[in-house]
Structure 1
Amino acid sequence: MTHLIYVADPMCSWCYGFGPELQALLDAVPGSRLDLVLGGLRAYNQQVLDDTTRTTILSHWKHVEERSGLPFGGNAMSQPGFIYDTEPACRAVVAARTLVDEVSSAAVLNVFHAIQHGFYAEGKDVTDIGVLSEIAVTALNAVEGADSYDAISFHETMLSPMTMSDARQDFEQSQRWGIRGFPALLLVHQDALHMIASGYTTRDELIATLKQIQQA
């Protein structure tokens, strides 16, 4: 079985752009296992976003839009006092990972992608716990079945000390692996980790690198 580890942040624009390429790889390698580790791009940031930084970030978004063809809609960053803290969005994915069965990794990835779509395409404030709970529960129920999860319970899970600790452990694990940029995709092969993507990478490049490592 092909075992992949995806290190990313739902509020990383290049991770958003990489989503379709990752899904194409998973479709091409049926039965593969994907573990999602949250990177914490701007976790615990407390600074209000200034105009200069906002302009720089939006220029990155433009590049991602041109490369990936994915939609970028309303700008949640334009609201007064916006703080670009990616920890809550990462924690929402960790909460989903805690709640679902191990065999339901597709549900966790669906939450990850739903948060991305909410932020980038719909302009939702995914630093808000209530907004995140609604997005995550809708995404989970789309995979697990209607009414499998509810926003109130999910909200409580997000606020639990265990979920907060697990999110921090993900950030620390990413750092121990030496990963400083996202997205990153690792292959677990012969008891070792192999990088098959560091930054935006196309489906064809992913498949070629994967086969090269597996056949070496």
Structure 2
Amino acid sequence: MDWLTQVVERWGYLGLVAVVALENLFPPIPSEVVIPFAGFLTSLGVLTLPGVIAASTAGSVLGALVLYGLGRVLGRRRLEALTRRYGHYLGVHVEQVEKAEAWFSRHGPWAVLAGRVVPIVRSLISIPAGIAEMPAAVFVVYTVLGTLVWNTALAAAGAALGAAWPLVQEWVRVYQHVLLVVILAAAAVGIGLRLAGWPRR
């Protein structure tokens, strides 16, 4: 984490673009550390909030396009085989890719938009979009919109908190837990309704 923040502090917007792009490729790198720190730098006058939002969004799109391209070029079978063999080096597991794929198949293009604010899925949703050969222009538009929301929230929180910016990571952790509970509750309700025979035909 020290290295990541040093890259942003030293290289400014260019460093932020690079680190956020890496965060999309390697999910263990947390955007909830890097972007709030960049937001904090805006309170010192080192960076500007619009610049941080633009740079982090550009990095997100670059990283997402790499994964989208891999999905499109390799296809499902070869990508799964590569993930099983080398995924642990990147902190990515086949189960995570399968979850992202299921998310995409259920919600289509909207999954790219909504998935950008869902932990783990936000990075990996690009792969099934590529496998499904989602039009590149549509993919970029939805990716920009989704990441813009996420990055703006993180950068603004870091700027508002100032030196207390590490608190954002704790807030994101709470958000992840709440989101997990909501997803599990929705799944339980859905299963219950199906078992009860609803909707009736």
TM, length-normalised to structure 2: 0.32
Structure number with the higher strand fraction is 1
